[in-house]
Amino acid sequence: MDFETVRDFFTVDDGRIWVLVGLCLLTVFTLQGVDAATEGAWPHQRRPMADPPRARGLRGSWSVAAALVLPGLLLAILNLVVMLWRDAAQSDLHRYGGILVAAGWLGFVVLSADQSPVRRYAANLGVVAPLALSALLVVGDLLLLIAFLDILPTLDTVRDALPLLG
At 155-166, the pLDDT tens digits run 888 788 877 765
pLDDT attached to residue 160: 83
Beta strand segments in 32-114, E: none
What is the pLDDT confidence band of residue 138, given thresholds at 50, 70 and 90? Answer: very high
At 66-124, the pLDDT tens digits run 889 999 999 999 999 999 888 888 999 999 999 999 999 998 888 877 676 777 777 67
Based on DSSP, count helices (H) and strands (E) in the chain, helices before strands.
7, 0
Model confidence pTM above 0.85: no
Whole-number average pLDDT of the chain:
80
144 burial class (0-12, 13-18, 19+ CB within 10 angstroms)? buried
At 41-66, the pLDDT tens digits run 544 444 554 445 555 556 677 788 88
pLDDT attached to residue 46: 47
pLDDT attached to residue 80: 92
Secondary structure letter of residue 41 according to DSSP = S
At 3-23, the pLDDT tens digits run 666 666 666 677 788 888 889
Q: Which residue has the higher pLDDT, 33 or 51?
A: 33
pLDDT attached to residue 149: 94
Q: At what angle do helices 53-86 and 92-112 cross, to 10 degrees?
A: 150
From the list 85, 68, 87, 80, the residue with the least C-alpha distance to 23 is: 80
